[in-house]
Each structure stands twice: as structure tokens, then as C-alpha cells.
């Protein structure tokens, strides 16, 4: 697109811009051959979103304007015609207007619902509804709803009384347009300016926003080649700006600076953490955390509810090797609120055996049964610590106990046996990794999953496919992945033991 071409800003593009300026830019000017195929998990989210919308549409009769895909002019005309006829509910219409500079703004509201009032059409007006699969009314949803409301106001010559969001489980939320219209207008102004200038926004890799982005491979390759600071754990976009203001643009320059310099723009704790992270990365070595002390252990106790009393040394109880240890990992299907695989690796030191138990619910109804099997197995070893990675397993145990009315004498004594290896790593050691995920940590130790390309989110898709197709090979992939997660947790825990030299 050249400068003299008209810009066309759709609600989709605005949403991309809100999430990442670079992404919106690449959607228009990027080389499409560098875009990856959507991941299975993204396709599943899209399919779930489509199903959710269909369920909302089906609540009452509606009409859909007929127009060729992405022909916005034709779509706007067909929608206008339905609005003029006083159609009660219009699904996936098109609203189009132009800015004074001639840039086109296009919104495709999920629903336009007729209400009493005066508009250009007569004694009625329309109110927009945006349908999203999210649980909470995120700012980005409100911005898109406000964008739609503004274009609708131009089309029907009166502001809609509100804009509605329909979220997961059909939770309805009214968007306060007085608040969100100015926010949206500012964003639209910035977005149009960025796109018009054709200046490629800088990369900033963030696990959360980049994870499902189809430009991830190309952005990540560039970030790697540039040794971009966003690959250093703890560097957020704001901190990145602050580091730049100090002239610190490389990991090495941060590693060589003083904590006092960093404290001029960052808080004391963040400055010390970041300095140590840069040193670990620059020197490619693990470093005992500078602030590993009683405060850290207390903080972990609050979140984990089960760590041992505070100490200024590594927690011996946590790291000591018991004769039997259990390594535990769950595969879940969030949209079904289901924990369908409770995997346990039993490590018996005296007999030098390791046995993996994949407690698998082949059908969602079997969740209670695998929960009972889990309880039987873990109570076969009443003194064995149960190691897991991050907090999900603890939350899941509590959920399952509540759901299936587990007697408290079976669940309460279990909780102090849980040991969160992730929490111990982040509390006690700084490592030269890009993130403290199990994948990154275990790979740094040289561990590799048998199916390198599989991820937890892909397992969610594989389980859905299993339910649809009955293809057992899918279950086998999930089982293998889960076992490798348990083994990676085992490897990481062993490494911690060696690192502190408190092992056997």
C-alpha cells in the first residue's frame, strides 16, 4: 500500500493494533509468505468462538445481509437496506464510514438489535452487540464495541443508547460509551498515523501476546538475531523504554552496569533482579538469587500454602530426596472445565524403579473415576512428596476434591506434600533462559520431549479430536507428552538438588 492509497481500518485490524502495533502493520505491509499457518489451538479457539456466536444468534430470529466476503461496500449497502426495512436483529452486518481525510472505517458488528427511538430510518434505531468468548469484559473488547457504536452513530444519525458485550456463558455486559469512546478515538488516531507512515514498529516479544500470533516465527528470528532485550525475562515494554533512556540497549550493557544506575529508573527489587538476570544470561550460567531469603520463602508460602518455615538457606526439606517421590502433571480441557489426565511418575530410589501412571478419562464422565484412582495411588505412598510445576495442579486438586465431595482427611494431609518446583526455581535461582516455563528450563538442562512439536495447548486440541474421532493414537501422543512433563519436572528437581548440593 502506498501513501496515496486509502487506508481501510477494520475492527479486526484495530484489535490487532491494540494487541501489538507491529502486528497491525504486518497485516497490511508484511510479507505474507512469512506468516505461519494458524496453530491448531488457534483454530480451535476460532471454532469455539464461532460455535458461541451461533448459540447467541439462535436465541431469537435474525437476518444476515447477503454480500461477497470482505466486499465492505456491498456489505454496508445490504446492511443499510435491512436497517431501513426495520429488521429486528441483523447478524454480521457491515457499517462503513470515512474520516475527513478519506480513510475508511469498517465495523462488522455481530448483532444489530432494533430498539425504539428516532433515527434516520424512522421510529427505531439500532444498538450494537459484540460477542466474545472471553470470560471478562477486557478493554480491547470495549474499544471494539465503542468503535462499532461510533460508526453506527454516523450511519443511523443518532448515537446508540449503549453497546453490549455478550461473553462466555452468555454473560451480558453494557459498555460505558462515555468512557470508552475517547479511549477508542485516541487509539484509532494513533493506529491510522502508524499505518500511514509505513514505519515498521519495533519488535517486542512477549509470551502472552506473541504466543498465538502467526508472525511469531519471523518476529522471533529477528529478535534473536538482534539479541533483543524483550527476550530477557523481566523486561516489560515500560522497563524497556526506561533502560533505553539510560542507554542500556544490550544484555551485556545491563550486566555491566551498577544496581544504583538501574535503581534510577526501576524499583530496588526489579533493578536487582534484572541485573542478576542479565548477568546470568551474559555469562550463560545459573546464579543463586541475590535475595533468596526468608521473605521469599514467606511469599511462596502464601501462594503455595505448603512450603516449609522461612530460612535464609535453600529449603533443605524441599530439596531433600525421599525414598519415594511422586512427579505429578495434569492435562486439562478448559472449555469443558475438565482435568482429563492425571499423570504420576513414581520414583522409588531403593529399588531404582520409575513407573508412570497415566490416569486418563477417555470420556469426560470418567473424571471422577480417575480422581479416585489418583487418591488411591498417592495414598499408597503416604510419606512421598508430590512434585509438580506451577500452581495449576494445586488448584485442580482443590477443585476436584470439592466437586467430588472428597473427605477432608483424604485431601487436607495431601496439600502439605505438594512441592512446586517452579516456585522454588524462581525464588532461588536465576538462569540464562528466555522464560521460566518448564519447556525452557528443562531444555536448558538438555532434556527433550519425545514429540518436540507438541505443547500443552496442542494436547487440548488432540483431546477434542479424540472425543470426535475415537482415534487412539491421539491419546497416545497426549500420554507421552504428559509423561515427558513429569520427567522434565523430575529432571529439574534433580538439577536443583545438585545445584544446592543437598542431594544424596
Q: Which residues bind ligand SF4 (CB under 6 A)?
A: 20, 22-23, 26, 203-205, 209-210, 213, 215-216, 219
In the complex, least distance from residue 112 CB atom to ligand SF4, rounded to whole angstroms: 31
* The three cell numbers locating residue 239: 522497563
Crossing angle of the two packed helices 40-57 and 456-469, in degrees rounded to 10:
60
Contact 349, 321 (CB under 8 A): yes
Rounded least distance, CB 28 to ligand SF4, Å: 12
Give the DSSP letter of residue 323.
S
How far is 270 from 165, CA to CA, in rounded Å? 37
Q: From the CB of 222, what's the least distance to ligand SF4, in Å?
A: 9
Q: State which H helix or E strand residue 356 sits in.
A: strand 353-360
What distance, in Å, lies between the first and last C-alpha atoms of the chain?
65
- The distance of closest approach from Cβ of residue 224 to ligand SF4 in the complex, given in angstroms and rounded to an integer, is 12
Eight-state DSSP code of residue 305: S
Q: 106 near 132, Cβ under 8 Å?
A: no
For residues 504 and 491, give the distance between their C-alpha atoms in angstroms, rounded to a whole number. Answer: 15
Phi and psi at residue 475, to the nearest 5°: -65, -35
| 216 Cα distance to chain centroid | 14
Q: Which is nearer to ligand SF4, 210 or 461 (CB)?
A: 210
Cβ closer to ligand SF4: 210 or 394? 210
Residue 47 grid cell: 471454532
**How many residues comprise the chain?**
504
Taking the least distance from each CB to ligand SF4, the nearer of 35 and 335 is 35
Name 158's Cβ contacts closer than 8 Å, sequence gap at least 6.
117, 118, 119, 120, 125
Nearest CB to ligand SF4, comparing residues 20 and 433: 20
The CB-of-242 to ligand SF4 minimum distance in angstroms stands at 20
Least Å distance, CB 143 to ligand SF4, is 17
Residue 128 DSSP class: E
Q: Which helix (DSSP H) or strand (DSSP E) does residue 273 occupy? A: helix 268-283
In terms of DSSP H, where are the helices of 211-266?
Answer: 216-226, 237-245, 251-255, 259-263
Nearest-5° Cα angle at 196, 192 to 202: 90
Amino acid at each position: 500500500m502506498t501513501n496515496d492509497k486509502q487506508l481501510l481500518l477494520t475492527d479486526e485490524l484495530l484489535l490487532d493494533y491494540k494487541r501489538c502495533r507491529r502486528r497491525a502493520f504486518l497485516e497490511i505491509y508484511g510479507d505474507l509468505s512469512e506468516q505461519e499457518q494458524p496453530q491448531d489451538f488457534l483454530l480451535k479457539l476460532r471454532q469455539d468462538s464461532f460455535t458461541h456466536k451461533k448459540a447467541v444468534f439462535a436465541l431469537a430470529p435474525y437476518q444476515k445481509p447477503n454480500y461477497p466476503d470482505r466486499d465492505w461496500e456491498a456489505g454496508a449497502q445490504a446492511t443499510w437496506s435491512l436497517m431501513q426495512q426495520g429488521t429486528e436483529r441483523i447478524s454480521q452486518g457491515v457499517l462503513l464510514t470515512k474520516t475527513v481525510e478519506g480513510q475508511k472505517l469498517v465495523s462488522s458488528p455481530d448483532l444489530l438489535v432494533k430498539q425504539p427511538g428516532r433515527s434516520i430510518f424512522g421510529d427505531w434505531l439500532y444498538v450494537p452487540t459484540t460477542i466474545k468468548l472471553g470470560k471478562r469484559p477486557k478493554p480491547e473488547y470495549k474499544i471494539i464495541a465503542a468503535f462499532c457504536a461510533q460508526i453506527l452513530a454516523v450511519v443511523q444519525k443518532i448515537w446508540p443508547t449503549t453497546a453490549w458485550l455478550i461473553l462466555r456463558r452468555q454473560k451480558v455486559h453494557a459498555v460505558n460509551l462515555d468512557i470508552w469512546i475517547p479511549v477508542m478515538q485516541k487509539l484509532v488516531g494513533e493506529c491510522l498515523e502508524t499505518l500511514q507512515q509505513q514505519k515498521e514498529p519495533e519488535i517486542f516479544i512477549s509470551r502472552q501476546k506473541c504466543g498465538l500470533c502467526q508472525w511469531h516465527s519471523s518476529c522471533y528470528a529477528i529478535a534473536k538475531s538482534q539479541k533483543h532485550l524483550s527476550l530477557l525475562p523481566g523486561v516489560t515494554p515500560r522497563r524497556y523504554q526506561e533502560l533505553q533512556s539510560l542507554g542500556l540497549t544490550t544484555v551485556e550493557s545491563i550486566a555491566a552496569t551498577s544496581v544504583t544506575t538501574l535503581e534510577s529508573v526501576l524499583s530496588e527489587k526489579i533493578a536487582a533482579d534484572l541485573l542478576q538476570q542479565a548477568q546470568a544470561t551474559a555469562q550463560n550460567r545459573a546464579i543463586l538469587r541475590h535475595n533468596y531469603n526468608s521473605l521469599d520463602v514467606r511469599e511462596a508460602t502464601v501462594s503455595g500454602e505448603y512450603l516449609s518455615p522461612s530460612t535464609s538457606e535453600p529449603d533443605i526439606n524441599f530439596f531433600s530426596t525421599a525414598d519415594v517421590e511422586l512427579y505429578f502433571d495434569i492435562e486439562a480441557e478448559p472449555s469443558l472445565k475438565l482435568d482429563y489426565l492425571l499423570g504420576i511418575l513414581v520414583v522409588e530410589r531403593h529399588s531404582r524403579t520409575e513407573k508412570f501412571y497415566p490416569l486418563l478419562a477417555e470420556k469426560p464422565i470418567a473424571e471422577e473415576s480417575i480422581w479416585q484412582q489418583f487418591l488411591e495411588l498417592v495414598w499408597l505412598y503416604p510419606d512421598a512428596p508430590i512434585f509438580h510445576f506451577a500452581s495449576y495442579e494445586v488448584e485442580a486438586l482443590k477443585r476436584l476434591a470439592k466437586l467430588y465431595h472428597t473427605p477432608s482427611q483424604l485431601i487436607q494431609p495431601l496439600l502439605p506434600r505438594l512441592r512446586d518446583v517452579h516456585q522454588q526455581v524462581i525464588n532461588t535461582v536465576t538462569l540464562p533462559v528466555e522464560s521460566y516455563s518448564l519447556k525452557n528450563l528443562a531444555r536448558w538442562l538438555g532434556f527433550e520431549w519425545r514429540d518436540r512439536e507438541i505443547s500443552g495447548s496442542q494436547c487440548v486440541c488432540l483431546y477434542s479430536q479424540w472425543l470426535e474421532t475415537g482415534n487412539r493414537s491421539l491419546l497416545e501422543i497426549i500420554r507421552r507428552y504428559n509423561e515427558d512433563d513429569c520427567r522434565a519436572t523430575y529432571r529439574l528437581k534433580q538439577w536443583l538438588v545438585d545445584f544446592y548440593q543437598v542431594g544424596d
